[in-house]
Chains A and B, each alone.
Chain A
Amino acid sequence: MTGALALGSTLDLLAYSPPGWGANLLRGLWNSVLIALGAFGLGLVIGTAGAYGKLYGGPVTRDLLAVYTTVVRAVPELVLILILYFAVTDVVNQLLVAWGQSRIQISGVAAGITVLGVVQGAYATEVLRGAILAVPAGQIEAARAMGMPPFLLARRITLPAMLSFAIPGLANLWLVATKDTALLAVVGFGELTQETRQAAGTTKAFFTFFLAAGVLYLALSLVSGVIFGRIEKWARRGQPNVGGSGR
């Protein structure tokens, strides 16, 4: 009887509409996914530029990129988030005030995407650099030998060819991105962990809500795995099967 009662009240707590907290959790999940997508995308852009810069850039470019990847990968993400979020907000506002503008509140989503994107970019730089190096030099040379200009060559040959080497590393980065969104709870942003904390704190049903959040993170990871599996299969379309995919 108490079991059924407990189950009933648990379901009430997780119900979609108030007084249940389901809608809040799902909104949090949605924000987490949004930020993870944005950060992952920004990370890919930074990573592609960073990888090319490290491979083909001049000495100054390479040194700057080395500082970037070293620092970002050495410092705990939580610290980076605090630094970037508060410091960047502060600097932006000081500049605005200096120019006679009024202070702004940086949106949580924008700040989250920027901060996590910069972190992702450092790791993606290394993943993509390794993947580009794994493309047989002859394939790039063949394109150069037929007069393909550098930008087109990157877009048509190098980047598609390196994808199969990059996918496992990028899939890891994506999962890290989804979980790193939880760190944004420290700056009070309403992603899944923050929403969970609020629901748990208000109702004192800690176990229920954190378990529910865990299930949501797990579901996100499983869906991601399926999607990346598909992408990897497509990226490897020209390669004979040796062993299975990473899953």
Chain B
Amino acid sequence: MPATARQPASHPRPEAIRIEGLRKSFGPLEVLKGVSLRACEGDVVAIIGGSGSGKSTMLRCINFLETPSSGRIVIGGEEIALRADGTPASRKQIEKARQSLGMVFQQFNLWTHKTILENLIEVPVHVLGTPKADAVARARKLLARVGLAEKESAYPAFLSGGQQQRAAIARALAIEPRAMLFDEPTSALDPELVGEVLGVIRDLAAEGRTMILVTHEMKFAREVASHVIYLHNGVVEEEGPPDALFGSPKSDRLKQFLKSVA
């Protein structure tokens, strides 16, 4: 059963990710102008918006691939300590937070000099200290799950885009993350390969994975998200449950945006 329109549970669930008043500038260009987001465990938060609205930057600030200019970031109840200029105070704390967040990129970013299986066990074995045999067993289960069981010895360059992205999702899952971060996971794919990747993400949503998903696939966002954020020019222009946001958008900008992508 798909996770269609899951309602926030009435009893409080533990919070997974919280962003408050996040600002980010690249030189003189302010890309995020005080955005906030909260995801409890099991939530699927979709971030939508036009190109250049700051979606990727917002997502990348969560695991500090971009350094925020100001604001608060709390991962699993632990606030990331920032200096006055927004840079993280402790590299160790950032690394620990990152190890609990599985990121999936638009361009897959698999390590091309490693086989698919080696890609999956790299961080578990060398960073998290998982015994190799355990990591391999777990990686094989994940590969079977994303339909790549027979590709474990292949190198990424020999796989289709859809297969590479499924492998990248399995690699992110291999660190047993608290939450998954997706940055337009299907935007680099040929249209006929989009479905297989969305299928995998849909399954993850259905099993109650916490996810933050930047996407241009509006139908998909409406189907799997528990909460949708519409970003415009670095500001959260409108947010709410998917049916409300897509069914009866309030702001003219969102109406216009939805018309333009329909």
Contact = CB atoms under 8 A, between A and B. Distances in A.
Interface of A: 136, 138-139, 141-149, 152, 156-157, 160-161, 163-164, 235, 237-240
A146 to B, nearest CB: 5
Interface string B130-158: 00000000000000000000000001111
B11 interface: no
Given A141-B65, A238-B157, A239-B157, 5 more contacts: A144-B65, A147-B127, A238-B113, A238-B114, A240-B158
A237 B113 contact: yes
Interface string B218-244: 000000000000000000000000000
Contact of B98 (A138, A144, A237): A144
Contacts of B102: 146
Contact of B123 (A148, A235, A238, A239): A148
A149 B65 CA distance: 13
The A contact surface, by secondary structure, is helix
Q: Please give me the 10 A-B residue pairs with the lowest Cβ-Cβ distance, nearest first.
A: A147-B98, A147-B99, A138-B109, A238-B155, A142-B109, A147-B95, A145-B103, A238-B112, A146-B123, A238-B113
A133 B111 CA distance: 15
B109 A161 contact: no
Contacts of B175: 146-147
User: What interface size band does chain B fall in?
Assistant: 20 to 34
B135 to A, nearest CB: 13
Given A146-B175, A148-B127, A152-B126, A141 B113 contact: no
Contacts of A235: 113
B126 A156 contact: yes
B42 to A, nearest CB: 22
Interface of B: 63, 65, 91, 94-99, 101-103, 105, 107-115, 122-123, 126-127, 155-158, 168, 172, 175
Contacts of B109: 136, 138-139, 141-142
Contact of A240 (B105, B114, B157): B157
A244 B63 CA distance: 41
B105 A142 contact: yes
B123 A161 contact: no
30 contacts: A136-B109, A139-B109, A139-B110, A141-B65, A141-B109, A142-B111, A142-B168, A143-B111, A145-B98, A145-B103, A146-B98, A146-B103, A146-B127, A147-B97, A147-B99, A147-B123, A148-B126, A149-B91, A149-B95, A152-B126, A156-B126, A157-B111, A161-B111, A163-B113, A235-B113, A237-B155, A238-B114, A238-B115, A238-B155, A239-B157
A197 B153 CA distance: 55
Contacts of B127: 146-149, 152
B126 A141 contact: no
Contacts of B96: 147
Nearest to B124: A146
B99 A139 contact: no
Contacts of B155: 237-239
Contacts of B172: 146
B142 to A, nearest CB: 14
Question: Which interface residue of B108, B127, B155 has the most chain A CB atoms within 10 A?
Answer: B127
A112 B101 CA distance: 51
A145 B126 contact: no
B192 to A, nearest CB: 21
Given A157-B111, A238-B114, A138 B122 contact: no
A141 B105 contact: yes
Nearest to B97: A147
B39 to A, nearest CB: 18
A144 B168 CA distance: 14
A167 to B, nearest CB: 13
Contacts of A143: 111, 122-123
B105 A138 contact: yes
Contacts of A138: 105, 107-109
A146 B125 CA distance: 12
Contact of B63 (A139, A145, A149, A238): A145
A141 B175 CA distance: 16
B185 to A, nearest CB: 13
Contacts of A148: 95, 123, 126-127
A148 B92 CA distance: 10
A161 B105 contact: no
A146 B126 contact: no
A136 B109 CA distance: 8
